[in-house]
Amino acid sequence: MRPLAVCMRSLLLLAIVLCGISLHAPLACAQEEGTLMVKTDPANAKVRLLYVKPKFVQGIKLAPGNYMIDVQADGYETTFKEFSIAAGKTTAVEVVLKPLPGTTPAAQTPAETAPKPADESPSPASPGTADQEPLGQLFVEVAPGDATIRILSIKPKFQQGIELAPGTYRINVTKAGYVSQELPAEIKPREKTTIKVRLEKEAAPKQELPLNRKGYGRLYVDAIPDDADIRVLRIKPVFEQGIELKADKYTIDIQKDGYEKQVLRVDIKDREATRLNVTLVPLATADAPAPPAETPAPANDNNGSTPVVVPPVEATVVSTTNQTGARDAMAPGHGKLLLNMTPPEVEATIAELEVRYQHGMALPVGNYTIHFLKEGYADHSVRASIQDGQALTLDVTLKPETAPAASSFSRIKEVDAPDLKGNIGKLFLETSPPDAAIMVLNIKPKFEQGIELKSGSYRLDIRHDGYEPMRVVVVIAPRKAVTYRVVLQPAAEQPAPIPQKGEPAAPSPVSTQQAEQAKARLQEGRTLLEDGNAQGALEALSAAVTLDPSLVDAVILRAAVHTRLEQFDQALEDYNRAIKLAGKTPHAFLERAKLNETLQRPDAACYDYWMACSLDACDGIRDAQKRGLCQ
């Protein structure tokens, strides 16, 4: 019995050697092959057999086992399909490609749709020609050896010796504790391409970046590509590695031309260093337009009578889908937003992030207000709730304006500005009256015609004596110069202010003696106020203003006394007067902002806080933002 067992084992080993073993199909010695037929829509799509050497042709004979093909055509999304081949049987695989957003694929001719037999050599115009193109192989030698290797923008996972169509690929190599690298790989037909990568360990935190300041933490962002533009929204300091931030929640914007923008939220904790690792996804199509709306939603009920942003209302949610593979394109805790807008070319901005909407952009989980602007249509807002790993689709239809308002706001021109670089645009504003005061609320630089701003949305405050103030949202596009027009509405006539007790109806020249006397009465007023004698302080300060109407300190202090005595109208009049006398000092704006809060006038208060910030006093607006008073 034993010699017989030895003989049987020898015969078995000989059979394995003669038949061979495939890594991609089961042992097929003496097994009949199967036949593969692939039907595609469109019919001229290119079909490739992955991970095996035979090139696909209709009716190709394959050993029994599991296989994968990829199917691609211009104007369509590439599709991967897995299937099994059975011995002696014909396997028919049908693949329908999905058109890329915003494209209209050309119709196929009957000649293109006719299938070709397996033994017919493909003509130069047939799909088989591209399939016959020889593949190349890619090897990556990496140190440390357990680093993660990815080929960007393709679905198959990397493995040593992976077969790829000729072309240039981007290879991403990462490992925790090491500096990530991204580099190109050129694949040539029938050649083995080997890339050597050595990752460097991340540098230890620098000594000059301590974490001992109470109430503050530090933020580091490792982005791929490493020259991506990184911004911390709603703060003045420019981002730099290890930036010190107050313990709070922040929104981080990471973008680079040719890549999908990412917007992340981060929680900075007291005396802790927070590090983000972000890899931007290259855009598949550089200028892919947003898809048109297919089913218009019901028109909203805003009457379009005001040019400022209307309160948010709920939009019609057409579909909420958990797309297959969505997690591969999004960071954890994010979802995608897809807007179908009617009419097209509507300007949409996300208020909470102060960024312009991009089709299919990924957003952190949460609720957002989206503003829509288009000339000739009523401004509109909707609320959107982003869920983890889901793609939210909203259909929004704007309502045409039925009648022009007394005040108006519109975009009148947008032209290319090739002299600008990166994501910078220019802003021009035409106002009526032409000398209206203009302020950009969410940045420090003062407005001037042609001001250069990063792409995104900005809030402007436009004012003029005798007119109703107006706030608008403008949108800046990269390398564009945009011009808006704002027409203010005349305000209702107000009675002329009555001079306060002891003041002359019109100022007269002040002598040196009067100026000295006014300063003495100002000091007297301060002393009386410190002693708790508000009424005596008011009389002394009024005497100081009578002696020298240009003494700003006396006017501001008298306004504070009026506020303490709850004489709010007189207090507001004094603050207005002080600002006219010395508009370059922030103190009067800050004090008037506090008074406007007391009078429950939040818009006016926020304007004053922003004006003070433009004069290098930003603590007021920061505090107002934390309290939810201002944006």
- Give the separation between CA 78 and CA 46, rounded to whole angstroms: 10
602: burial class by Cβ within 10 Å (0-12, 13-18, 19+)? middle
Helix (H, G, I), strand (E, B) or coil at 619: helix
> Which amino acid type is present at position 215?
G
Handedness of CA 35, 39, 40, 45 (dihedral sign): positive
Residues 298-310: pLDDT tens digits?
333 333 333 333 2
Residues 474-520: pLDDT tens digits?
888 888 899 998 888 887 655 445 455 555 444 567 788 888 888 99
Cβ 384 vs Cβ 370: under 8 Å: yes
4: burial class by Cβ within 10 Å (0-12, 13-18, 19+)? exposed
CATH assignment, 313-397: 2.60.40
Residue 228 has pLDDT above 70, yes or no: yes
Residue 589 has pLDDT above 70, yes or no: yes
Sheet holding 249-255, edge to edge: 229-232, 249-255, 262-267, 362-364, 334-342, 391-397, 317-321
- Give the separation between CA 578 and CA 556, rounded to whole angstroms: 6
- Give the separation between CA 631 and CA 620, rounded to whole angstroms: 12
Beta bridge partners of 482: 414, 427
CA dihedral 86, 92, 93, 99 (to 10 degrees): 170
Q: Binning pLDDT at 50, 70 and 90, where does residue 227 land?
A: confident
Residues 134-177: pLDDT tens digits?
889 999 998 888 889 989 878 788 989 898 888 888 899 998 88
Closest CA to 104 of 245, 238, 288: 288
Among 47-56, 204-213, 319-328, name the one with the lowest average pLDDT: 319-328
Among 61-70, 366-375, 408-417, name the one with the lowest average pLDDT: 366-375
Helix (H) or strand (E) holding 426: strand 424-432
Token couple for 405: 């308002």
The pLDDT of residue 17 = 45
Q: What angle do CA 467, 468, 470 make, to 5 degrees?
A: 120
Helix (H) or strand (E) holding 397: strand 391-397
Q: What angle do CA 379, 453, 399 make, to 5 degrees?
A: 10
Sheet holding 424-432, edge to edge: 408-416, 480-487, 424-432, 451-454
What average pLDDT does the segment 192-210 reach? 74
- Percent of the chain's residues with pLDDT above 90: 6
Report the chain's mean pLDDT, rounded to a whole number: 76
Which is higher by pLDDT, 442 or 393?
A: 393
Residues 425-466: pLDDT tens digits?
899 999 988 888 888 876 767 889 999 988 877 888 888 888
Residues 130-144: pLDDT tens digits?
445 688 999 999 888
Estimate the crossing angle of helix 619-626 against helix 586-598, to 10 degrees. 30
What average pLDDT does the segment 329-349 reach? 78
Question: In the block, which residue shows the tokens 């003062």?
Answer: 446
Length in residues, the chain = 631
- Give the separation between CA 66 and CA 55, rounded to whole angstroms: 16
396: burial class by Cβ within 10 Å (0-12, 13-18, 19+)? buried
- CATH 2.60.40.1120: does it fit domain 136-198? yes
Estimate the crossing angle of helix 552-564 against helix 568-581, to 10 degrees. 160
Residue 89 has pLDDT above 70, yes or no: yes
Closest CA to 480 of 429, 423, 441, 440: 423
Outline which parts of the chain fall under CATH 2.60.40.1120. Answer: 32-103+127-132, 136-198, 216-279
- 32-103+127-132: CATH topology is Immunoglobulin-like (2.60.40)
Closest CA to 22 of 44, 51, 60: 51
CATH of 408-487, one of 1.10.260, 2.30.42, 2.60.40, 1.10.8: 2.60.40
Q: DSSP string spanning 92-106?
A: EEEEEPPBPTT--PP
Q: Binning pLDDT at 50, 70 and 90, where does residue 40 land?
A: very high
Superfamily of segment(s) 216-279? Carboxypeptidase-like, regulatory domain (2.60.40.1120)
Cβ 432 vs Cβ 406: under 8 Å: no
- How much helix, strand and coil, in percent to the nearest 5, is found in the chain? 20, 35, 45
The pLDDT of residue 149 = 93
The pLDDT of residue 493 = 55
Among 394-408, 427-441, 527-541, name the one with the lowest average pLDDT: 394-408
